[in-house]
């Protein structure tokens, strides 16, 4: 994953092109270490070695391990947010697209975002409480994601044979989001997930959401 410095937070922004390249290299190495081994593997010494920059430069730019983690977290969130904005732009979906196909495609897009951004999603969530303010930033981005996805699916609620389509759409989002989040966070630790591929998981969840939303509502 290639992360780019966004100039957020307390990090000292670089002024020269070479310094920007060095900063981005540090972020890329740091994100790779986090994805590989989590917080324990995320050490300034190892990042210095892999990025081929001095420990002093890292401390000068980021302050400490927490500052570097915050920078990676912010860059990752920015990438997640930009990807979601493109994927769920209402105008990007044809108005004449069949409603079932649209819902299936939206859920697939959600799954592919989690797949492409990889294990770093889970590491960010598990460790965001180590630096004040990061959990709140993540919650805000996820709230925006929920709004984008549910608004897009709700645009076809008139075709859903349900008395309370808004509630059904919310359930659909929570089902898909929690499944993809759980898989990106815990799949390498849980045996039952280890045999599942992203391709199959995304397809199954998209099928489940589409069937649920467009099947006749069961009698009470």
Annotated domain spans of the chain:
1-72, 88-214
Do residues 144 and 110 make contact, with C-beta atoms less than 8 angstroms apart? Answer: no
pLDDT, block means (10 residues), the chain with 220 residues: 46 60 90 89 94 92 92 91 95 96 98 88 85 91 96 96 94 96 74 78 97 86
- For 164, the 3-state DSSP assignment is coil
pLDDT of the residue at 9: 46
Pick the CATH number of 1-72 from 1.20.1250.20, 3.40.50.300, 1.10.8.60, 1.10.10.60: 1.10.10.60
pLDDT of the residue at 6: 44
pLDDT of the residue at 8: 41
As a whole number of angstroms, the distance between CA 186 and CA 122 comes to 7
Q: What is the pTM of this model?
A: 0.85
pLDDT of the residue at 186: 75
């Amino acid at each position: 994953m290639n992360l780019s410095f966004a100039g957020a937070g307390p990090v000292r922004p670089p002024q020269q092109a070479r310094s920007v390249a060095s900063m981005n290299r540090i972020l890329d190495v740091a994100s790779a270490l986090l994805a590989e081994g989590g917080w324990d593997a995320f050490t300034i010494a190892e990042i210095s070695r892999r990025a081929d920059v001095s420990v002093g430069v890292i401390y000068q730019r980021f302050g400490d391990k927490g500052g570097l983690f915050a920078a990676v977290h912010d860059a990752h969130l920015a990438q997640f947010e930009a990807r979601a904005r493109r994927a769920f732009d209402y105008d990007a979906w044809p108005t004449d697209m069949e409603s079932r196909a649209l819902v299936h495609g939206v859920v697939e897009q959600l799954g592919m975002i989690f797949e492409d951004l990889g294990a770093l999603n889970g590491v960010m969530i598990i460790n965001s409480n180590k630096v004040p303010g990061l959990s709140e930033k993540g919650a805000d981005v996820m709230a925006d994601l929920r709004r984008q996805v549910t608004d897009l699916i709700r645009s076809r609620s008139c075709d859903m044979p349900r008395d309370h389509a808004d509630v059904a759409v919310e359930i659909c989002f929570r089902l898909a989001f929690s499944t993809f989040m759980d898989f990106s966070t815990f799949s390498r630790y849980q045996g039952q997930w280890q045999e599942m591929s992203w391709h199959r998981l995304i397809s199954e969840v998209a099928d489940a959401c589409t069937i649920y939303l467009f099947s006749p509502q069961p009698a009470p």
